[in-house]
Amino acid sequence: MKGCLLFLLMAVLVAGCSKSDDKPACTNGFSLGRDRQIIDSFLQKNGQKELFQFDNQELVYYYIEKTGAGTTKPTIDSLVSFRYVGKLMNGTIVDSLTVKQPPTAPLRNFSPGIRVVYAISKISKGGKIRLVIPSSSQFGCTEVSGVNRVPPNSQLVYEYELTDMTPSY
């Protein structure tokens, strides 16, 4: 009898922990190779292919539009003010942020998913950089809601500008 009660209790606990709304993992995402074909075609069509470089470690394209004033670039502990806008390749804005002056937030506080640290650490105050992020390096085949909807398998274009910074020493 004791064994039956224990079995029944375990069955109830297991049933209570399972979710009926679980979605299967997405399996139809683009490979990095397919993403790169799409992005290369997009950059070629817009006359920008020669401007962008592909970073094999971060798996993103980048173009430093303006290096900024001076040679001091922020580190992870620098206090920064910046703005960015994220768009689909068709120009639809899906995300944006302005961190106002004076700089009070260390660069380390910002989400790695949108590549803020990577982008901002490549430029000096007043600098601008653009990233094109393959879907396989961002959201994959998952749909995401932001300012506007990010459809599955979307390549994203982010533009960053470092408006001010206080270097760490």
Range of the domain at 154: 51-169
CATH number at 154 reads 3.10.50.40
> How confident is the model over 26-76, as pLDDT tens digits?
678 899 999 999 999 999 999 999 999 999 999 999 999 999 998 899 999
pTM for the model: 0.81
Rounded (to 5) percent helix, strand, coil in the chain: 25, 30, 45
- Residue 138 inside a domain? The answer is yes
How many beta carbons lie within 10 A of that of residue 125, not counting itself? 21
In a domain, 36, yes or no: no
- Condensed to tens digits (0 to 9), the pLDDT of residues 92-123 reads 999 998 998 889 889 988 876 678 999 999 99
Number of domain units in the chain: 1
